[in-house]
Structure 1
Amino acid sequence: MRKIIVPVVLAFVVGTSGMAFAATTTPMAPAAKPAAAATIAGPQTISSTVKAFDLKSHTLTLANGVAYKLPATFKDPGLKAGSKVTVKWQQNGKEYDASSVTLG
């Protein structure tokens, strides 16, 4: 029995010494915080149906409940509730600024 214990212990010591080297790590720099979504995202497009349209306040509300602010030079192409539209927009803080609206 004693003849087996010495080789087993020796094999155990040799086998685990490599694990000690593998466990050493160098400290890594903390991950950089991602930039705010509003600064990353460029113009986006959404296709939906019109829930409400108010030319006086220059707002267009879609079926998802989001109100898009229309430019002052916006010309009404015949929008009405229930119309299918495609809106090109960009988030500006908490507002959604629409740059173009097309029917269909």
Structure 2
Amino acid sequence: MRRMILPSLTAVALFAATGAYAAQATGSIKSMDAKAHTLTLDNGTVFSIPAKQGMGKMKTGEKVKVTYQDKGGKHMATSVVPQ
């Protein structure tokens, strides 16, 4: 029984930690929707922007790097930086 506990806990910890990593995407802004708080890149990927972060001075056509996490099936942006 003890032989199974440590490997099981390790597997659960590794599985839980994989969702915590942020991913990155780069591209040009294709469109923005201030009401829905979304940003779409030229490759069609849609990112949700937190209301408190706002859309700032972003413009359509601007190249950006988006850092995001997947939450609830959505790409939630944590950072949007001009390139």
So what's the TM-score if we normalise by structure 1?
0.58
Per the TM alignment, residue 81 of structure 1 is displaced from its structure 2 partner at its CA by: 1.5
Partner of 1:67: 46
Structure 1 residues without counterparts, runs of 5 or longer: 1-31
Partner of 2:57: 78
Q: What count of residue pairs does the alignment treat as equivalent?
A: 70
Q: In 2, distance between residues paired with 1:103 and 1:48?
A: 10
- Return the structure number with greater relative CO, CA threshold 8 A, min gap 6: 2
Out of 9, 13, 18, the residue aligned to residue 40 of structure 1 is 18
Q: In 2, distance between residues paired with 1:79 and 1:70?
A: 12
Query: Percent identical across equivalent pairs?
Result: 34
Out of 28, 38, 52, the residue aligned to residue 31 of structure 2 is 52
So what's the TM-score if we normalise by structure 2?
0.71
What CA RMSD, in Å, does the superposition of the two structures yield over aligned residues? 2.1
State the Cα deviation string for residues 65-100 of structure 1 (Å, max 9, x = none): 111000111133321221000101011131110011
Given that residues 77 and 103 in structure 1 are in contact (C-alpha distance below 8 angstroms), is that contact kept between their aligned partners in structure 2? no
Larger strand percent = 2
Per the TM alignment, residue 54 of structure 1 is displaced from its structure 2 partner at its CA by: 1.4
Structure 2 residues without counterparts, runs of 5 or longer: 1-10
